[in-house]
Amino acid sequence: MSSFKSPDAFYDPEDSQLVAEAKKEQAPEVDYSYTERDVILYNLGVGATEKEMQWVYEGDDQFAALPTFGVVPQFAASSGISLDWLPNFNPAKLLHGEQYLSIKTPIPTSGELVNQARLMEVLDKGKAAAVTTIVETRDKATGKVIFENQSTVFIRGAGGFGGKRNGSDRGPASAVNAPPKRKPDAVVEEKTLPRQAALYRLSGDSNPLHILPEFAAIGGFDQPILHGLCSMGIAGKHVLKTFGPYKDIKVRFAGVVYPGETLVTEMWKEGDKVIFVAKVKERGTTVLANAAATLVDASAKAKL
Shared domain check, 194 and 88? no
- If one compares 81 and 59, the residue with the highest pLDDT of the two is 59
Residue 84 falls in the annotated catalytic set = no
pTM of the model: 0.96
185 is catalytic: no
Res 1: pLDDT: 40
193 plus 248 within the same structural domain: yes
Tell me whether residue 248 is one of the annotated catalytic residues. no
Shared-domain flag, residues 101 and 32: yes
Q: Is the pLDDT of residue 134 over 80?
A: yes
Out of 124, 146, 210, 275, which one is annotated catalytic?
Answer: 210
Q: Which of 21-25, 115-119, 167-171, 269-273 has the lowest mean pLDDT?
A: 21-25
Q: Are residues 234 and 118 in the same domain?
A: no
Residue 302 lies in a domain: no
* Residue 2 in this model has a pLDDT that exceeds 60: no
Question: How many structural domains does the chain have?
Answer: 2
Read off the pLDDT of residues 232-242 as tens digits, 9 standing for 90 and up. 999 999 999 99
Q: First-to-last CA distance in the chain? A: 43
Among 205, 227, 234, 244, the active-site one is 205
The HSE-up count of residue 218 (CA atoms within 13 Å, CB side) is: 10
| CATH number of the domain encompassing residue 96 | 3.10.129.10
pLDDT higher than threshold 90 for residue 261: yes
Mean pLDDT of the 15-39 span = 94
Domain span including residue 260: 186-295
Inside any domain, residue 179: no
Do 20 and 98 reside in the same domain of the chain?
A: yes
Tell me whether residue 222 is in a domain: yes
pLDDT in tens, 190-203: 999 999 999 999 99
Same domain, 205 and 139: no
Verify that 18 and 88 share a domain, yes or no. Answer: yes
In a domain? residue 156: yes
Most confident of 40-49, 72-81, 204-213: 40-49
282 shares its domain with 234: yes
In angstroms, the CA 38 to CA 110 distance is 8
The active-site residue out of 70, 97, 159, 228 is 228
Q: Quote the mean pLDDT of the chain.
A: 94
| Active-site annotation holds for 228 | yes
* Same-domain check for residues 49 and 143: yes
Does residue 117 lie in a domain region?
yes
Do both 203 and 58 map to the same domain? no
One of 225, 234, 249, 275 is an active-site residue; which one?
Answer: 225
pLDDT at residue 27, rounded to an integer = 87
pLDDT over threshold 60, residue 300: yes
Instruction: Assess if residue 4 is contained within a domain.
Output: no
- Same domain for 108 and 227: no
Residue 33 lies in a domain: yes
Mean pLDDT over 30-58 rounds to: 98
Compute the average pLDDT of residues 238-262. Answer: 98
Give the Å distances, CA to CA, from 112 to 34, 83, 144, 246: 7, 28, 12, 23
The reply to whether 19 and 159 lie within a common domain is: yes
Q: Specify if 39 maps to a domain.
A: yes
